Amino acid sequence: MDLISITQKRFESAITLSVIVPYFNESAVLPALHARLTATLDQIPERCEIIYVDDGSNDDSLQLVEHFQSTSSIVRSVSLSRNFGKESAMSAGLEYSRGEAVILIDADLQDPPELIPQMLAKWREGYDVVNMQRKERHGETWLKRRSAAAFYRLLNSLAKASIPENVGDFRLLSRRVVNHINQMPERNRYMKGIFSWPGFSQYTMQFDRDPRFCGETKWNYFKLFGLAVDGITSFSIRPLRLATLFGSLIALGAFFYGMVIVTQTLLWGSDVSGYPSLMVAQLAIGGIQLLSIGILGEYIGRIFIESKQRPLFLVRSVKEKPAVMVFEPMEKRA
Ligand code: UDP
Ligand code: MG
């Protein structure tokens, strides 16, 4: 094949890989990310695209991205109309992706882009999902590491679909998995669960997650708690059963305790005492009732949100830049 037809093929063939980068106010790190990402994608002989999803940033991230060029990949910039949260931004990226394989990656360089060729190699072996599991959580506090571990244990003991521990959103999905995810109608996007739900053949690869390149994490403990509750309530109804179980146990206990008191009164008469035990029982039952109502409320709230059927995100603009490469580098002509 001559040079022109090879170049032609590269530009006309279907897109093999889409890399989705959701970002929110990341102007300090985006140029470094783009440089590393394009350098990696240049090594891949097939056609690639990078989809940057602007999650309503209010710094100059979007302007930066719209000026990004790439020698071998298409650069697509999707801008959401406001900040919808990372989960929605990722959903938007999945909808706008066209690749046969799709990789989601954080903008803050915590997920090294250099691992992309290895992930793609696993996909070529036939895996539909390549989960990237963190070996070490560098740059995270002891409390965050412990609470994350406890959360995964709780979630996996409750939910049916097994959600791999310490696997973030950095992962590869095949086109059929992406299509299934795009069809999932729920508004409540707990993505770690949604990615695991379709199943198919999964491969888990270990990697060292780097500390944030610069800037601050956008997650505080309050938000993380919300995410944890989301995760549990959107993938399991066991908390509701737990409430039923607690209620039954306490009712049963109260019945037997009542029997004991009746017997005691019949045998030995009664005197007015037992104020502390009364109080304890009262408070315990009150607490459990409130807790159960809270759990019920979580699910009702979710039904409320789902029933409104609002779109997950609104897109302000989509811009696309083709690859600027004119000549194929030597090593790719083979
Ligand atoms: N992000 C986003 N929308 C948000 C918050 C975060 O798109 O509302 C992006 C953020 O720019 C980054 C990724 O999600 O690319 C992960 O965010 P962060 O590093 O703050 O989370 P952590 O790594 O601490 O889980
Ligand atoms: Mg991060």
β pairing state of 17-23 and 202-209: unpaired
Distance 87 CA to ligand 2 centre (A): 14
Q: What is the pLDDT of residues 143-167, one digit of tens each?
A: 777 777 787 777 777 766 677 777 7
Distance 106 CA to ligand 1 centre (A): 7
Q: Is the distance from the beta carbon of residue 90 to the nearest atom of ligand 1 less than 6 Å?
A: no
Q: Which atom of ligand 1 is nearest to the CA of 83?
A: 8
Q: Any idea which residue has 């009150």 for tokens?
A: 286
Q: What's the pLDDT at 293?
A: 85
Q: Using pLDDT thresholds of 50, 70 and 90, give the confidence band for residue 1.
A: very low
Q: Is the distance from the beta carbon of residue 85 to the nearest atom of ligand 1 less than 6 Å?
A: yes
Q: What total of structural domains would you count in the chain?
A: 2
Same domain, 180 and 282: no
Same domain, 243 and 134: no
Same domain, 60 and 149: yes
Q: Can you give the CATH number for the domain in which 187 is found?
A: 3.90.550.10
Same domain, 221 and 244: no
Same domain, 243 and 224: no
More confident residue, 275 or 245: 245
> How much is the mean pLDDT over the chain?
81
Same domain, 104 and 17: yes
Backbone φ, ψ for residue 131 (5° rounding): -85, 135
Q: Which DSSP symbol is given to 210? A: P
Same domain, 127 and 15: yes
Same domain, 112 and 246: no
What is d(CA 95, CA 261) in angstroms, rounded to the nearest whole number?
65
Q: What's the pLDDT at 161?
A: 61
Q: Which run of H or E residues covers position 283?
A: helix 275-308
Q: What is the mean pLDDT of residues 61-70?
A: 86
Same domain, 265 and 203: no
More confident residue, 224 or 183: 183
What is d(CA 100, CA 123) in angstroms, rounded to the nearest whole number?
10
Range of the domain at 151: 3-236+311-333
Same domain, 68 and 136: yes
Q: Which atom of ligand 1 is nearest to the CA of 212?
A: 19
Residue 99's closest CA among 118, 120, 121?
120
Same domain, 295 and 316: no
Q: Is the distance from the beta carbon of residue 26 to the nearest atom of ligand 1 less than 6 Å?
A: yes
Query: Helix (H, G, I), strand (E, B), or coil: what is residue 329?
Result: coil
Q: What's the pLDDT at 193?
A: 78
Q: What's the pLDDT at 7?
A: 53
Same domain, 127 and 143: yes
Q: Which atom of ligand 1 is nearest to the CA of 53?
A: 7
CB 299 within 8 A of CB 240: yes
Q: Any idea which residue has 């279907």 for tokens?
A: 14
Residue 113's closest CA among 17, 214, 193, 196?
17
pLDDT at 104 over 90: yes
